[in-house]
């Protein structure tokens, strides 16, 4: 077979393998990263708005003089503590549902680049979690615990929306992976059984 030499003439198609590395990376990454990141940011914004709408308005509380100094407590106490817990619970429910939707949509868009699509979905999930927290808490009054020093005993302050602990933040990546894998598994169709010799 004759060996090909020289460079392609003007107007000849350049083989895909010889395309510049930057172009190949853009062709591989653009559908993988752009869609899950935009979806993550958009779903996170929707989640933040829904989170505050479901939880708000903020419950009232009062500054009390305790043995360890002034402290803010919700009033009445039991319903206030329940509301405090419900803020985290609502974040978990909404976050998991929106993250699962992100994973499903990312898998449908990135089904030809499954591994890169999964990475992009996880990055989008992290972005969604951050946007949801930042936007949701932006509607809420500030943390009353940080205002106690500048207030008097008996002053009334509203509570604030927050996530208790770090583990609830895991619902976004877990939900995204769950939605992603459900779609990927459902897209795998078993091939035809090969014919047996002599059949």
In Å, how far are 76, 99, 187 from 31, measured between CA atoms?
52, 19, 19
Q: For the chain, which ranges sit under pLDDT 70? A: 1-19, 21-32, 189-199
Closest CA to 89 of 179, 164, 178: 164
Q: What pTM did the predictor assign?
A: 0.77
Phi then psi for residue 63, to 5 deg, are: -90, 125
Residue 62 β-bridge partners? 73, 156
Is the separation of the CB atoms in 105 and 116 below 8 Å? no
Please report the pLDDT score of residue 16 as a whole number: 47
Which element (helix H / strand E) includes 178? helix 171-187
Q: What are phi and psi of 110, to 5 degrees?
A: -105, 25
CA gyration radius for the chain?
A: 26
Specify the pLDDT at position 49: 97
Question: What pLDDT does 183 receive?
Answer: 93
């Amino acid at each position: 077979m004759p060996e090909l030499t020289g460079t392609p003439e003007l107007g000849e198609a350049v083989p895909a393998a010889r395309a510049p590395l930057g172009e190949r990376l853009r062709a591989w990454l653009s559908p993988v990263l752009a869609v899950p990141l935009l979806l993550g940011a958009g779903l996170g914004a929707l989640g933040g708005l829904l989170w505050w709408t479901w939880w708000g308005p903020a419950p009232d509380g009062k500054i009390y003089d305790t043995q360890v100094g002034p402290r803010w407590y919700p009033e009445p106490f039991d319903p206030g503590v329940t509301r405090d817990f419900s803020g985290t619970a609502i974040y978990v429910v909404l976050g998991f549902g929106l993250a699962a939707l992100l994973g499903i949509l990312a898998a449908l868009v990135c089904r030809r680049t499954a591994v890169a699509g999964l990475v992009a979905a996880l990055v989008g999930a992290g972005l969604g979690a951050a946007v949801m927290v930042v936007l949701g808490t932006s509607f809420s009054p500030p943390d009353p615990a940080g205002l106690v020093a500048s207030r008097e005993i008996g002053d009334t302050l509203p509570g604030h929306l927050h996530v208790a602990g770090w583990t609830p933040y895991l619902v976004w990546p877990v939900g995204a992976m769950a939605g992603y894998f459900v779609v990927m598994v459902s897209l795998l169709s078993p091939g035809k059984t090969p014919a047996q010799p002599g059949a």
